[in-house]
Structure 1
């Protein structure tokens, strides 16, 4: 082995946590190398969160064309140009890439493009994309290798070359009939978007209903929405085998409610979960243990089982959200400076960018019931918020779980633009303020925020 190049810190992967760690340490004057095998910035800005929301918004515009007469607009003939949809998305991604490269330049952190893997303690070999290798060593190493779409072992599935979210975002045609495996948030967002572009869409869900981890009223509301948009849904379904190739035509042999059947489509998208990228990077060589699910084993400070090595984001088993990966970075950054922050008890907000949006924070009714936590339920229809009527977007509802001491235990919103309602609720929850802090403020009219007044005015009185 050639003598390694010595750095103060190495960052394996430039996802949300990794890039911010590289920028932070580099800006402190440390010699830092960030190793990336695909795209600088990781999945979110390149082929996940931001590109998908870009395409989702294009689909929203398409839906406005379809609803033109409802708004008094006569649009005439129109069609979806998927190549132009893709071009708009690519333009945004290119801008984000330049933003990331500028941040690396300003911080002084070096980018090393290639596949990095441990070959000895504190030592990583990089198989460079341009050819050759480099051997790097540092006393501090931060792993942020992310996750990828899970492709199950269903016979014929891998051979069918199915789309994942990465390839789906590169479509330049409207699929004749897109079959989606999985009714989670990725499958739901793509199903609605592609349907609005004009494709037939069928969702295959192995559980008894879509969004099966949600409260029953949320699952029912999403199902009603999708059926109204003529998205076909097959639940309680197992895929026995797959024939054909995505893009040229596929046939799925499925069993639903005990009955076998066939489903034919032009394209196949797999959205059945995520697999951490922890294989073949030499973790076992340096004493970094994995969990049974394949995540890097970390403690509450995100320290691995190897001294001087941290893991952050998806690969560490943190909830699979960009904002959680960013908070992982903040935890490790603070602890490097002498703090004692942990992942315990932090808020986990989530948003699903179907239309209307689904936004959540804190306990759901299902979780509260499982944990035996008492609550008072407040719930109002979206139509009670007058702003929704001006938009002709009255589908949905707000609901909140309130404790006996008037704290907000959980909040769920299903409606237009409700992702922006999460932050004020989070502030009240984190400050341990009563729900009345939102009920009693003066809110500008007409805004979605007025819903807080209606919602929290509907909290039942305490039981005597």
Structure 2
């Protein structure tokens, strides 16, 4: 019998090396289990390579450019400056390489085997890994985890694919400042890139089919973000239905659209698609495993992240989990505990997020829209960032803090920060929520002055309604 027909047996085989996957690999290998991870391209998954961390690196470079452009505001005179996009890109690449090296060291330290190969199922709990030289390995796991993630959707708009649009992957590798960047989609990715590229010097036009940016948020958040972008010179084209696209991104592109019943066209040099994600579940042999997918192609899982096939689990975005690295990391905890015989579920967990525009937008818990839709009675606390002394000292006073508190218990239902340090102050509130603390505990806390969290005292001392 061909020895290749006999699978190598592992305690745990993982397809994809993203946040939840790698933590499972390192944890179980560190406990002495035999673990193999099959990764097609990016060691550590999207976050350290082509998504969260490199994009924030680029965003920070753009913020520095913004500071330099505003240097007179700080009493510093700079006669002229120019953006060197190859250097911006290389700074990002250096950070990414450092992260990859750290991941490789953790694989070696834990004993987990990282196999750089294209993987697909050839049977229940059995994967075929095809290496770059064409050789194949057959792997079988007592437990198997799917963590293949998602990728940017390129919609079936006439001419869009042939225009070779940028996704966030290619946008992070730009070595020129686009003369005129057209961004399709006013979600998290679109907003961050629109502001960053505008700050580097691009003319930027942001298109979205909805009537506003980040349309699921409360109206004050939507208005704040919209005003921010307009003030920085980003052109917003909303209620836009794109009809066709011509040209090639990087040279010249034309977008034909309909806005409020009126036909229009836009011309630019580059086009970036940021209109959502689709799961990486095609062509990986799921039909041979008993693993079912949803109508949208995500893997069907229960609250324990078990798929419809015994012994096969899914984590992260491919499982339909909220598309944040920190959620994938929590998926790791869920699968870890359940494989070890415990019981942990995804239901009822907090899903915080931070949008890294400048200033940031951060939220955890319920929005006003959600509370009203559910008929939940709440008190509203809200202050402008001008009431936060740390923001005043930095002279970064755009935005506000807002909190929903249950009328019948004084417990925090939801918190929003749109302003400097929003992500950090949200973390303080989230910890209070995890501890079941009433808002009065934060109102009466002794917090260092002048810090950003100190603003919570002002927030919770404000009149509520």
TM-score range, shorter chain: over 0.9
C-alpha separation between the residues in 2 aligned to 1:421 and 1:390? 17
Q: What are the superposed Cα offsets for residues 191-248 of structure 1, whole Å, 9 maximum, x if unpaired?
A: 0000000000000010001111111111111111111001000000011010011001
Pairing partner for 2:441 from 437, 445, 450 = 437
Which residue pairs with 2:226 in the alignment? 223
> Mean alpha-carbon deviation: is it higher for 422-431 or for 96-105?
422-431
| 1:459 Cα deviation after fit | 4.7
Preserved CA contact (<8 Å) 2:428 2:453: no
Preserved CA contact (<8 Å) 1:37 1:129: no
| 1:134 Cα deviation after fit | 1.0
Query: Does 2:289 align with 1:286?
Result: yes
Which residue pairs with 1:237 in the alignment? 240
Q: What are the superposed Cα offsets for residues 56-92 of structure 1, whole Å, 9 maximum, x if unpaired?
A: 0000000001110011000121111000000000000
C-alpha separation between the residues in 1 aligned to 2:171 and 2:256? 22
Pairing partner for 2:6 from 3, 8, 13 = 3
Which residue pairs with 2:186 in the alignment? 183
Q: Which runs of 5+ in 1 are unaligned?
A: none
Which residue pairs with 1:133 in the alignment? 136
C-alpha separation between the residues in 2 aligned to 1:373 and 1:448? 29
C-alpha separation between the residues in 2 aligned to 1:406 and 1:293? 40
Preserved CA contact (<8 Å) 1:356 1:395: yes
What secondary structure sits across from 1:195 in the alignment? helix
C-alpha separation between the residues in 1 aligned to 2:203 and 2:375? 43
Q: What are the superposed Cα offsets for residues 246-290 of structure 1, whole Å, 9 maximum, x if unpaired?
A: 001100001001101110000000000000111111111111000
Q: Which runs of 5+ in 2 are unaligned?
A: none
Residue pairs, 1:20-59, within 5 angstroms: 20-59=23-62
Query: Does 2:332 align with 1:329?
Result: yes
C-alpha separation between the residues in 1 aligned to 2:249 and 2:117? 30
Which residue pairs with 1:457 in the alignment? 461
Cα distance change, pair 118–459 in 1 and its aligned pair in 2 (3 A): farther
Which residue pairs with 1:150 in the alignment? 153
Q: Note the aligned Cα RMSD (angstroms).
A: 0.9
Which residue pairs with 1:407 in the alignment? 411
Residue pairs, 1:360-439, within 5 angstroms: 360-404=363-407, 405-439=409-443
C-alpha separation between the residues in 1 aligned to 2:309 and 2:251? 48
C-alpha separation between the residues in 1 aligned to 2:137 and 2:175? 38
What secondary structure sits across from 1:65 in the alignment? helix
Residue pairs, 1:19-98, within 5 angstroms: 19-98=22-101
| 1:130 Cα deviation after fit | 2.7
C-alpha separation between the residues in 1 aligned to 2:352 and 2:342? 24
> Mean alpha-carbon deviation: is it higher for 92-101 or for 128-137?
128-137
Pairing partner for 1:106 from 101, 106, 109 = 109
| 1:128 Cα deviation after fit | 1.2
C-alpha separation between the residues in 2 aligned to 1:109 and 1:429? 36
| 1:409 Cα deviation after fit | 0.3
Preserved CA contact (<8 Å) 1:376 1:459: no
